[in-house]
């Protein structure tokens, strides 16, 4: 009998593919015949070189990146990128556009303002508690970049299509939907993702940056906060988070070799989301919180008739080995995060539980 495993709907740190966890377990004490754990090998060794180079190569293949893009694995999480982006790219007299679709976009805007950078919030969905993705946005033609958050974990919204920004590079926080679907990376000057939601454990942030933006990096900012510091040293200017990068590399391998790429992953994610949203819409007991055309395929947010029932729902779900269904503390309600590693059978089990709970409490 194997170890107990629940269906994990946590928003981050979140579920990892079980086969990846088993592979880590198998080679944890002796990595590739080294006689050492991956947590013990030198980041200057061939063993770790192979790991990070394979992670970079798989990222480029999965996202169809051309030679203009550098793939970096940095520390500080996506939150560090909120200040690094304006520090590196927004020179005196230049401006950037930001779209505010919720908590993490709001934090990115705040960090740019702390630095005294000139930015414009060109669109926001705050007027309806961030329940939708803004449309028909008038972007600034000479902006240095446009920043947006591709998927909003707390509010349960997601950009179904990215906006046309003309010649202005897009920059996106893709922490919670990276590798969940194909997209045209060529429209982006930079995108970034904290690993702990859809591609690995906490401790590393993937940054993909284009050479024309790298060229804007000034000399007069701290060394560790310059993208060129990391691009010139293959993300190993200092000791990187080796275990987190190694796990991300195994998740990327799983995406390529087991799932079969991002088209296949997107089909699976759509199937999971449709199953859950269709039940919510048809029940009359559960209520989705995001506008239908803005719904996230990664974070399904919903409410029950009252808060007491929501508390009971989360407790009984947990007892039924369905974990992590409590909504973010800032909004309440319930949330099922159904990232790439969450299998279809987990969503089927959740829908079955929702039916039973409604029959007893509706």
Active-site hit among 104, 159, 226, 272: 104
Counting the structural domains of the chain, the total is 2
Helices (H), the chain: 18-27, 46-63, 77-89, 103-114, 211-214, 227-231, 242-253, 262-283, 307-319, 344-361
User: Annotated catalytic, 104?
Assistant: yes
What is the pTM for the complete model shown?
0.97
Statement to judge: residues 113 and 187 lie in one domain: yes
Active-site hit among 47, 97, 117, 173: 173
Residues 33-71 have pLDDT tens digits of 999 999 999 999 999 999 999 999 999 999 999 999 999
Is 154 domain-assigned? yes
Percent of the chain with pLDDT over 70: 100
User: Annotated catalytic, 274?
Assistant: no
Is 1 domain-assigned? no
**Segments forming the whole domain that contains residue 318:** 261-361
Residue 3 binned pLDDT confidence (cut-offs 50, 70, 90): confident
Read off the pLDDT of each residue in 334-350 and give the average, rounded to a whole number: 98
Is 11 domain-assigned? no
Is 166 domain-assigned? yes
Read off the pLDDT of each residue in 211-236 and give the average, rounded to a whole number: 97
Statement to judge: residues 68 and 121 lie in one domain: yes
- Judge whether residue 181 has pLDDT over 80: yes
Domain termination site, one of 259, 283, 305? 259
Statement to judge: residues 186 and 311 lie in one domain: no
DSSP annotation of 295 reads B
Read off the pLDDT of each residue in 136-159 and give the average, rounded to a whole number: 97
Residue 135 burial (C-beta neighbours within 10 Å; 0-12, 13-18, 19+): exposed
Statement to judge: residues 325 and 315 lie in one domain: yes
Question: Which is nearest to 155 in space by CA: 195, 123, 198, 126?
Answer: 126
Question: Which is nearest to 88 in space by CA: 147, 138, 139, 142?
Answer: 147
Q: What is the 3-state secondary structure (H, E, C) of 65-88?
A: CCCCEEEEEECCHHHHHHHHHHHH
C-alpha distance across the termini of the chain, in Å: 37
- Judge whether residue 218 has pLDDT over 80: yes
Statement to judge: residues 111 and 253 lie in one domain: yes
Task: Give the domain CATH number at 297.
Answer: 3.90.1150.10
Statement to judge: residues 32 and 153 lie in one domain: yes
Statement to judge: residues 182 and 309 lie in one domain: no
User: Annotated catalytic, 254?
Assistant: no
Domain termination site, one of 259, 285, 304? 259
Domain termination site, one of 259, 283, 304? 259
Please give the Cα distance from 357 to 351 (Å, whole number): 10
Active-site hit among 117, 155, 197, 326: 197
Statement to judge: residues 251 and 293 lie in one domain: no
Statement to judge: residues 172 and 251 lie in one domain: yes
């Amino acid at each position: 009998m194997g170890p107990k495993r629940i269906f994990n709907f946590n928003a981050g740190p979140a579920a990892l593919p079980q086969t990846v966890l088993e592979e880590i377990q198998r080679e944890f004490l002796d990595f590739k015949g080294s006689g050492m754990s991956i947590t013990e090998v030198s980041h200057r060794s061939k063993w770790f070189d192979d790991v990070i180079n394979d992670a970079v190569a798989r990222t480029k293949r999965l996202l169809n990146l051309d030679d203009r893009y550098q793939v970096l694995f940095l520390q500080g999480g996506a939150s560090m990128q909120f200040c690094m982006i304006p520090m590196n790219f927004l020179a005196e007299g230049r401006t950037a556009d930001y779209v505010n679709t919720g908590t993490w976009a709001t934090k990115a805007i705040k960090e740019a303002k702390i630095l005294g950078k000139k930015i414009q919030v060109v669109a926001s969905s705050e007027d309806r508690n961030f329940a939708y993705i803004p449309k028909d946005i008038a972007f600034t033609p000479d902006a240095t970049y446009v920043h947006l958050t591709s998927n909003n974990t707390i509010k349960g919204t997601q950009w179904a299509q990215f906006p046309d920004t003309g010649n202005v590079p897009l920059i996106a926080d893709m922490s919670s939907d990276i590798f969940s679907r194909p997209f045209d990376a060529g429209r982006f000057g930079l995108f970034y993702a904290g690993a702990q939601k859809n591609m690995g454990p906490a401790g590393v942030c993937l940054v993909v940056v284009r050479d024309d933006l790298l060229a804007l990096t000034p000399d007069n900012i701290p060394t560790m906060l310059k993208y060129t510091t990391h691009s010139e040293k293959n993300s190993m200017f200092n000791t990187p988070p080796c275990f987190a990068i190694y796990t991300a590399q195994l998740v990327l391998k799983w995406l390529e070799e087991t799932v079969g790429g991002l088209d296949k992953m997107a089909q699976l994610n759509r199937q999971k989301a449709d199953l859950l949203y269709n039940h919510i819409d048809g029940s009359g007991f559960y209520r989705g919180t995001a506008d239908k055309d803005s719904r996230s395929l990664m974070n399904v947010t919903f409410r029950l008739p009252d808060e007491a029932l929501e508390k009971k729902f989360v407790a009984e779900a947990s007892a039924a080995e369905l974990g992590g269904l409590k909504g973010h503390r800032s909004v309440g309600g319930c949330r099922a995060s159904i990232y790439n590693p969450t299998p279809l059978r987990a969503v089927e089990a959740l829908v079955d539980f929702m039916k039973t709970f409604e029959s007893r409490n509706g």
